[in-house]
Amino acid sequence: MTSSSAQLRRLGAELRRLRELTGRTQGDLGAVLGRTHASLVNWERGKTKISKSDLAYLLAELRAPAEVRRGLEELRVAANQGRSPWATYDLPEWMRPLVSFEEDAVRVETFEPVLVPGLLQTEEYARALHEAGHHKVAPEFVDKWVAARMKRQERLTGKRPLKLHAVIPEAVLRLAVGGPDVLRQQLARLHEASTARNITIQVLAADRSGYGGAASNFLVLNFADPGLDPPLACFDGPLGGYMISDEGDVATFASMFKDLSRMALSAKDSTELLAKALAEQRGKGSTP
């Protein structure tokens, strides 16, 4: 998928909705347009781009109102633009769809077994991770990738703040990524974030058992209209990440997150644990 994945998927979902309203089939429309059934399927799934002429013929066949035609043509143009606002950050290919979909999501559920989730990391914490992960991040990309992570966090504030629900094992709060000072700053950030109205942080206490099966980090993205934009999932590892759109697989990740949330401390108790962990780290003093 490319950085225009979100626009393509939204365009495809609208084309599917219009077709279903008219009772037409993909095969029927494909025959009229001189396109294969597979072409219609791929357009509606947002997997391939549609030309201006094909879109015009298709919307005419579906008797779409003029204002709908204009809106979908604008969406087609946006999806076909060569560069996205994220292009300047030189992000890896697999991550470009994630940041694109993240811009349109209304709620994100994320689990990290070892590290603080990216949307909650301080700049110093993120930099320490990127500099240590030289097998995954070339030195010349560190500044850009850290800046991109900070840019993504802007979704958590503003007029339409993203709702974020994070589950973090207690062990993450003890792992001094970048050193004790960086960890203290990161714990302070987590404690502050846990009090925000649009952010829920739950900690999996160290004495809890039964979540060993969730050995990989993942997140689930939810959108305003699940009918047009079904949820997506994403997980990544040392060799990169993957966007997941299969409904069954996404449902599995969503179910895993619910199980983790049920096993974790409540949001209130988690905030108290974060405050305790921060106080302990502050009591250890600064590094020489």
Give every CB contact of residue 117 below 8 A, 6+ residues apart in sequence. 110, 166, 168, 217, 219
Q: Using an 8 Å Cβ cutoff, are 247 and 230 in contact?
A: yes
The rounded distance, in Å, linking the Cα atoms of 251 and 175 is 31
Higher pLDDT, 179 or 286: 179
Domain boundaries, the chain: 5-80, 90-283
Nearest Cα to 112, choosing from 169, 165, 194, 190? 169
Report which of 75, 98, 77 is spatially closest to residue 3, judged by C-alpha positions. Answer: 98
CA–CA gap between residue 67 and residue 190 (Å, rounded) = 45
Question: Domain spanning 90-283 has what CATH number?
Answer: 3.30.870
Residues 6+ apart with CB under 8 A from 207: none
Least-confidence region, from 116-120, 133-137, 182-186, 278-282: 133-137
The 10s digit of each residue's pLDDT in 70-81 is: 989 888 887 776
- CA–CA separation, 166 and 15 (whole Å): 34
What distance in Å separates the CA atoms of residue 204 and residue 172, rounded to the nearest whole number? 10
Q: Do domains 5-80 and 90-283 have the same CATH topology?
A: no
Q: What is the pLDDT of residue 116?
A: 97
Mean pLDDT on 99-118: 92
Name the residue with tokens 């990161």.
186
Amino acid at 54: D
pLDDT digits (tens, 9 = 90+) for 90-104: 888 788 888 888 888
Q: With cut-offs at 50, 70 and 90, classify the pLDDT of residue 84.
A: low
Torsion 219-223-226-229 (CA) sign: negative
Going by the DSSP 8-state scheme, the letter that residue 7 receives in this structure is: H
Q: Any idea which residue has 């960086």 for tokens?
A: 182
Residue type, 8: L
pLDDT value of residue 135:
64
pTM over 0.75: yes
Please check whether the domain covering 5-80 is classified as CATH 3.20.20.70: no
